Amino acid sequence: MTRSSLTTPPPGANLPEAQPGAPSPGSALVSHYDQCFACGPAHPTGLHLTARTPDGATVEAEFTVGEAHQGAPRLAHGGVLATAMDEVIGMSVYLLHKPYVTGRLETDYLLPVPVGTTLHLRAWCNGIAGRKAYLEAEGRIGAPDGPVAVRAAALFIEVNMEHFAKHADLAVTAADHQDYEVNP
Ligand SMILES: CCCCCCCC/C=C\CCCCCCCC(=O)SCCNC(=O)CCNC(=O)[C@H](O)C(C)(C)COP(=O)(O)OP(=O)(O)OC[C@H]1O[C@@H](n2cnc3c(N)ncnc32)[C@H](O)[C@@H]1OP(=O)(O)O
């Protein structure tokens, strides 16, 4: 895809290694937050993405474009598609077993995505350098090997749990995410 140097791993970046306690190959990934617009099962109008990791290194998910996701008539809004890409990439960082947030997200829109289309999403990590993780994702129409409609490249930045606690209840946040390092 077309990407800037900011989302390209620098020389010396390391490929991620399997982390003890991280989701194992074949497992489903739980939502990181019930009310997340992209993956929260309790969100009233969210995308309700569910994901799994087939191999402990990549993440797969499906997103079916609905009436509520239109930008142009009968076509998905680009921002909604970017949300889905951001989330599936965010879920792939889950495999690193540390909290990260999106610093930068670049998106290529290659094909229009009509309402009713199921996009097959896949995300993976291309490298880690210090607190920076370099990630990529694609969304294919209709099948895992269907035509690519969307590509994304992202830079995620590692944060500590206090990042989230500034705007929410630390006790609740920590209790919900005991498997993350709280003070990395
Ligand atoms: C009850 C609550 C439940 C909470 C749940 C808790 C657990 C959840 C676990 C997992 C969640 C997963 C969630 C996935 C959801 C999808 C992902 C999202 O949508 S995340 C939301 C959107 N993103 C933000 O809101 C970030 C806002 N930005 C920031 O907070 C800061 O800017 C931050 C943390 C990204 C960096 O700030 P600094 O002060 O820590 O660090 P500095 O020094 O500025 O940056 C570090 C390095 O990164 C580069 N960098 C930072 N931002 C960059 C950018 N945009 N482009 C290029 N480089 C950037 C800098 O140049 C620096 O590089 P050099 O070390 O000097 O080489």
Read off the CATH number of the domain in which 108 is found. 3.10.129.10
Domain extent at residue 78: 23-176
Would you say residue 179 has pLDDT above 70? Answer: no
Question: What are the C-alpha distances in Å from 133 to residues 7, 14, 58, 91, 92?
Answer: 9, 9, 14, 13, 10
Given ligand 1 and candidates 101, 156, 161, which is best to mutate, with the most ligand atoms within 8 Å of its CB? 101
Q: Is residue 9 part of a domain?
A: no
What pLDDT was estimated at residue 1?
74
Is the whole-model pTM more than 0.90?
A: yes
> What confidence tens digit (pLDDT) does each residue in 119-174 have?
999 999 999 999 999 999 999 999 999 999 999 999 999 999 889 888 887 676 66
The count of domains in the chain is 1
Kindly report the protein residue whose alpha carbon is nearest to atom 54 of ligand 1.
Answer: 103
What pLDDT was estimated at residue 182?
38
The alpha-helical segments, DSSP class H, found in 126-184 are 162-165, 170-176
75 Cα–ligand 1 center, Å: 31
